[in-house]
Amino acid sequence: MLDDFVTFGRSGLRVSRFALGAFNFGGSQGWSLDPASAHRLIARYRELGGNFLDAANSYGGGEAEAIIGDYLAAEPHARDRLVIASKFGSNTRPGDPNAGGAGRKAIMQTCEESLRRLRTDRIDLYWMHLWDPFTPMDETLRALDDLVRAGKILHVGLSNTPAWKVAEAHWVAQARNHMPIAGLQLQYSLMERSIEIEHVPMAQAYGMGIAAWSPLRNGALSGRYRKARPDGHDAEGRAVFVGRALNDRSDAILDALIAIAARNGVTPSQAALAWLRVQPALAMILLGAHTVEQLSENAAAATLHLPPEDIATLDRISEPNIPYPGDFARRAIGTVSGGTRINGITAPPGAGSPSQGAAKG
């Protein structure tokens, strides 16, 4: 079911279209999984054919990586068959300014700590978890390239980073012959489509893959939560996350999603994942399941194909507001093309500005 692999960005790294996220492995939150439960999820994920585990140095206070490391130690042949990803950047030692961020010292320390917890000699894909405004990008990229050359990490990615900073990283890496940015990990779902404005076209232009986190908007797209029923928002202690996602716009999206799911005989979660899977530039979807049953249900979206009219309905109802200059650029297509069809796109001439019109003569 999950043995549909793609190469991530312009790299040769083969990854499952659906990855297993370890955000809820370890820790003491309402959504936290103990090691035995997490190991059952990994085992089921592998049975379904998946090969990508995504962790971070901060997940579960470091326990997530240790849980994965214990699994790998108990399954000696699993390491080479799995793609192990982790992240740096989050500070896990309050009061120590060099324990977080993207400076050289922090990266080297964090990588060594992650390798020890994961019980492995390399991390297949190492993400910068978030942008560090205090560190020059060239310092970050040089440190990562040194880790690549040392064989401690194999590929590099950026997460939760502004598009202009990703573009800088791409060109610095190109100019200095550093390991290129393979892809981006970004929040993306029917309820959060902001990345389509800048990140998606940039990823397409630069050959970067996109991995979507929170594809069900913290569970809001499961259909179990509604704005009018706040008493049911606290499943697994996630009320603060679910509450942020629910508003009048989300209600309209959920109404359409639930109707489409019922018409196709699937769950709202499966329909939401099926819509996301066909979005441009998307390489991978991170599943954050709490139970084996939930993982199996969500994984079934890998083979679900919604009718084109249902995809179009979900596109329309969830369309993001596009600020200037992105909105101007889209309206100006007709001014550029003169109303002709280019690369499958047709727009009326002179649509960029009310002051523009067809020239006389």
- Residues with a catalytic annotation lie at 59
CB atoms under 10 Å from CB of 310, counted, come to: 20
CA distances from 198 to 25, 194, 210, 283 (A): 32, 8, 13, 17
- For the chain, state the CA radius of gyration: 22
The torsion angles phi and psi of 125, rounded to 5 degrees, stand at -140, 120
Closest by CA to 159, choosing from 21, 31, 315, 278, is 21
Residues contacting 143, CB < 8 A, separation 6+: 103, 104, 107, 108
Q: Do residues 123 and 85 touch, judged by C-beta distance below 8 A?
A: yes
Alpha carbon distance, N-terminus to C-terminus of the chain: 60
